[in-house]
Structure 1
Amino acid sequence: MIRIKARAPTARAAVLPTVWGAVAVTYKVGCPLAQQDGLGARIVTSAVFFAVGTALIFHVRRALLRELRQARRVAGAAQSVVLRPLPSRLDGLNVAAAQLSADCGATIGGDLYEAVATEHGVRVVMGDVRGHGIGALGTVAAVLGSFREAAHDELELGAVLRRLDRALARHLRERSRAEHPSNGTHDPDNPVAEEFVTVLLLEISREGELRALNCGHPWPYLLRGTRVEPLTRVEPLPPLGPFPLPAELEARPCGALLPGESLVLFTDGAEDARDARGRFFSLPAVLRDAVHDHPLSAQTVLRTVFRALLHHTAGTPTDDVAVLVLRNDRRNVGTSGARGTVRQAPTHPEPTTHR
């Protein structure tokens, strides 16, 4: 039954070209006017064949556009499964995320993100696969699939990172065997051997305490009132793929995300974006302008960043860009600071959330 349904559109698509071809042949063979050599007869014959040719071109164009729309629907469905939309609220956090592919017409790029609420706190991953577009989709799926399981299963953030590292290594081995089946050994000249993924793992406890592990990824920005500052300036570990992880993996305490504060996670495509004059996009400046008057919802911050980014690049970024914004909308509670002291939440009123 499925095979019959699949062939039906192909059969219908061949009907009109066959009819038009039959009309042209019938006219040429059976019409007396087509057999004459006069100027008027030649003009009529040319007009007939021009009309048939034009009709065929328009038919082919319609078929191609129909196939393109179908391909985009399939790509959109794949994106919703691999890079699924995040909920707007997650365990008291206001969440907003979006991804922009550098490939024209593509809906999926080489950037990845996910946030899940677990018994260990809200765990977040942001990553960037070497390359972009459809070619990076398999690696994105492997890393995200591993994170979605490990985030719930593993007690420590370091164990989650090791699971991601093993999943990436397994994916690259399988991909290498698929692309070079005759070569049973690892080939260092194989392009797959040069693949890597930058990964940032965050854990946000119920009290807002932040712990992180970073493998070659940009540190997020912390929006604290009207200030914009990096979460930390510690040198990250190397990206996953080319180098083994260290024997000891301990998540780094990074202070706390207090009520009313936000974290902006991003991939390097944001800060590496250039305008026509070669100037880099200043993400901190855009964030400072956005929160100059009052704190904003995660959705508003996200829209502001992408609007400024598209304006800066004239709508044509050269690399994939992903941005994830987390805003602490929990009620005011005391939280432990980086040095173990108690930090009280700000006493200013909770700002109105723009959705």
Structure 2
Amino acid sequence: MIRLKARAPTRRGVRRARALALPTVWGGAAILYKLACPLAQRTGLGARIVTCAVFFAVGTGLMIHARRALLRELRQARRVAGAAQSVLLRPPPARLDGLLLAAGQLSAERGAAIGGDLYEAIATEHGVRVVMGDVRGHGLGALATVAAVLGSFREAVHDEPELGSVLRRLDRALDRHLRERARAEHPSAARDLDTPVAEEFVTVLLLEIRRDGELRALSCGHPWPYRLGDHGVTPLTRAEPLPPLGPFPLPREVDPAFRGRLLPGESLVLYTDGAEDARDARGRFFPLRNILTEAARDNPVSPQTVLRTVLTSLLRHTAGTPADDIAVLVLRNEPGRTKCGASPRGAGNRAADPPQPTADNAPLAAPP
């Protein structure tokens, strides 16, 4: 014997019924007044004023009710966006394998919690591996690409022993994602050169920081981070980065463009190009290096302090409305992190010495 049980009304249906109940009552009351009230049938000035007042009150009530309903929907959308952000862009821990971290972002779309920037830091057997990236465009349209790149990175950092192999995994994941997106949006031309998807690209910066302070870095079209240390604020390197992922294939050999050391007490500031490209009302670029120099005067340099100083200055510089998504990640090599027996200033290791002004780390002129 088969029994069919009537389905109880869903919560969504109950909420919708409640939302329509009050406007229906008010509208019915207005119609009833117009048809049944003797005062509404009169043509005198006083009766017309009363009738107009009744309908004005009903209209005002309906507008207030609609506004409250829209605000509820907006709050719900922001809660969903916040939940998606916590899953997609997980806030890094304050301490990770001896490194102190702090990260934050500003979205170009007002009210949006997630933009086209991505970052992640993961402790692996190969050291702490960090990614900072920037997807072409911003807002909700870039979320799928951010998810594809971050998902690949979170798996590859544990599987691949070399940083170049991690980059290749990201490139393959991005290519696969763009092909699937092209088939979905343009079934007749899968990743054709004329489709908008073919113009998508992602800039990526990869770092690997080992327990002994050895630092390796790879960049595909992404700005190099700033190093904060005893010698002031200097770019990590001035080497030419690889092209962004997406439009061009990677070269056959992918080796880190920078090999050196992150000494105890030194910090790195990773950022997307929206930080240095931010302009004020007079068209002046944001002086990121000058702001970092001011923030680095504290001793010791706290990643949270640097992050808060940069984001606050950016909001002040752009009057609270940045033109592009901005992400900033600050990490500091905590003194005492080095393994026992592994000295960052060991004999015969020239990379362990304090960085001297060379072609790679010579100070750059401050932005205008």
TM-score (norm 2): 0.90
| 1:223 alignment counterpart | 228
Cα displacement string for residues 62-116 of structure 1 (whole angstroms, at most 9, x for unaligned residues): 0000000000000111111111111000000000000110111111011100000
Matched, 1:134 2:134: no
| 1:153 alignment counterpart | 159
| CA distance in structure 2 between the aligned counterparts of 1:185 and 1:129, rounded to whole angstroms | 20
Matched, 1:325 2:334: no
1:226 touches 1:295 (CA, 8 Å); kept in 2?
Answer: no
Q: Report percent identity of matched pairs.
A: 71
| 1:268 alignment counterpart | 273
- 1:44, CA displacement in angstroms? 0.9
Q: Which amino acid aligns with 1:207?
A: D
- 1:343, CA displacement in angstroms? 2.9
| 1:199 alignment counterpart | 204
| 1:107 alignment counterpart | 113
Alignment partner of 2:38 out of 32, 35, 41: 32
- 1:292, CA displacement in angstroms? 2.7
Matched residue SS, 1:305: helix
1:197 touches 1:239 (CA, 8 Å); kept in 2?
Answer: yes
| 1:351 alignment counterpart | none
| CA distance in structure 2 between the aligned counterparts of 1:83 and 1:332, rounded to whole angstroms | 26
| CA distance in structure 2 between the aligned counterparts of 1:225 and 1:242, rounded to whole angstroms | 39
1:34 touches 1:45 (CA, 8 Å); kept in 2?
Answer: yes
| 2:295 alignment counterpart | 290
| 1:190 alignment counterpart | 195
Cα displacement string for residues 195-227 of structure 1 (whole angstroms, at most 9, x for unaligned residues): 000000000000011011110000000001251
Q: Which amino acid aligns with 2:336?
A: R
| CA distance in structure 2 between the aligned counterparts of 1:66 and 1:235, rounded to whole angstroms | 49
- 1:4, CA displacement in angstroms? 1.4
Gaps of 5+ in 2: 1-6, 356-368
| CA distance in structure 1 between the aligned counterparts of 2:199 and 2:183, rounded to whole angstroms | 15
Matched, 1:209 2:214: yes
| CA distance in structure 2 between the aligned counterparts of 1:26 and 1:159, rounded to whole angstroms | 75
When residues 178 and 62 of structure 1 are mapped into structure 2, their CA distance, relative to the original with a 3 A threshold, is same
Matched, 1:45 2:72: no
| CA distance in structure 1 between the aligned counterparts of 2:153 and 2:328, rounded to whole angstroms | 18
When residues 15 and 332 of structure 1 are mapped into structure 2, their CA distance, relative to the original with a 3 A threshold, is closer
| 2:361 alignment counterpart | none
1:127 touches 1:199 (CA, 8 Å); kept in 2?
Answer: yes
- 1:314, CA displacement in angstroms? 1.6
| 1:91 alignment counterpart | 97
| 1:350 alignment counterpart | none
Gaps of 5+ in 1: 347-355
Cα displacement string for residues 149-178 of structure 1 (whole angstroms, at most 9, x for unaligned residues): 101111111111111001101111111111
| 1:56 alignment counterpart | 62
1:226 touches 1:293 (CA, 8 Å); kept in 2?
Answer: no
| 2:364 alignment counterpart | none
1:108 touches 1:134 (CA, 8 Å); kept in 2?
Answer: yes
Cα displacement string for residues 291-317 of structure 1 (whole angstroms, at most 9, x for unaligned residues): 235331111111111111111112111
Matched residue SS, 1:8: helix
Aligned residues: 344
| 1:340 alignment counterpart | 349
Alignment partner of 2:259 out of 246, 254, 260: 254
| 2:365 alignment counterpart | none
Alignment partner of 2:122 out of 116, 122, 127: 116
Q: Which amino acid aligns with 1:194?
A: E
| 1:125 alignment counterpart | 131
| CA distance in structure 2 between the aligned counterparts of 1:69 and 1:144, rounded to whole angstroms | 27
2:218 touches 2:258 (CA, 8 Å); kept in 1?
Answer: no
| 1:234 alignment counterpart | 239
- 1:253, CA displacement in angstroms? 3.9
- Out of 224-233 and 44-53, give the one that drifted further: 224-233
1:127 touches 1:198 (CA, 8 Å); kept in 2?
Answer: yes
1:114 touches 1:126 (CA, 8 Å); kept in 2?
Answer: yes
| CA distance in structure 2 between the aligned counterparts of 1:304 and 1:186, rounded to whole angstroms | 42
| 2:12 alignment counterpart | 6
| 2:317 alignment counterpart | 312
1:226 touches 1:288 (CA, 8 Å); kept in 2?
Answer: no
| 2:366 alignment counterpart | none
| 1:353 alignment counterpart | none
